[in-house]
Each structure stands twice: as structure tokens, then as C-alpha cells.
A = this chain, B = another copy of it.
Amino acid sequence: MSDKPYRLAVRAVIVDDQGRCLLIRRSRACKHFVGKWEWPGGKVDEGETFDAALRREVREETGLDVQPVGVAGAIGFEMDAARMAVLCMEVKLIGGNLALSEEHDKHVWVSLVELPKWDLTDGLGELARTLAAKHRQ
């Protein structure tokens, strides 16, 4: 078993009024998972609340302003120096204009039902299948 410390990260499932969510593709500027798709998000800074981190990361990565409306789920994965616990929140769009940072090179709006077909970053696949199954009901 690993004794690496745990760090908290957050990701935002931005759902539009047609039941689609925003996926963004990791660019060559990224150290890991280049070419994989993900929900916007990132690490929570020391002393920062998780929803401040969520709003900040989404703003930095997409130019969009969001507000959390529900808990989508959580996943874990291991990196070189730490293990990550990733809290994924369902959020609604409240403002801003879509503009990606250099960390991502493409975006797409995907039906929640279609999510499992996309090549997502580590650990997000299982949660994508859960969300797709819920949305199909």
C-alpha cells in the first residue's frame, strides 16, 4: 500500500440545458495525459475551500463562471508524488465566454449518455459510466 499523502482536487461537470456537458482536451503543454479529455478542474490550494477552487479552476481553464448545484461523485488516482481524491461537482453556467488556456486545445459538448465513449483522463471513466447510466433512467 502507498503511503503517499492525499491531495484534494475538484472537477466541474458543466451541464447545459440540453443535457450535454463540456469536455476539454489536454494539450501538448501538459506533462501527463496529453490528448485525453476531461472536465475542467484542478488541485485545491492550501487554505482554499473546494468550491472557491472549483470556480477558480473553471475560470482559468475555460473562461466560464459556474456555480455548483450537486455532487456528481468522487474518484481516486495515484501520481508520482501524491495520491489524488477528486471531488466532481455538477455545476451550472452563470457567465463568461469560452476561452481555453494553453493546457487544453479543443472543447466539445457531449451528451451525458455518450460520455463513456470518450477517451477520458485517469479514473474519470468509471464516473462517466455512472453518470451516463443515471441520465438514461
A residues engaging B (CB < 8 A)? 1, 3, 5-6, 8, 46-47, 49-51, 67-76, 85-89, 92
Residue of B nearest to A84 (CB): B71
Contact B71 A75 (CB under 8 A): yes
Copies of this protein in the assembly total: 2
By a CB distance below 8 angstroms, the chain B residues around A72 are 74
Report Cα–Cα, A86/B5, bound state, in Å: 20
Residue of B nearest to A1 (CB): B69
Contact A74 B71 (CB under 8 A): yes
By a CB distance below 8 angstroms, the chain B residues around A74 are 71-74, 87-88
Query: How far apart are A46's CB and chain B's nearest CB, in angstroms?
Result: 8
By a CB distance below 8 angstroms, the chain B residues around A87 are 8, 74, 85, 87
Query: How far apart are A75's CB and chain B's nearest CB, in angstroms?
Result: 6
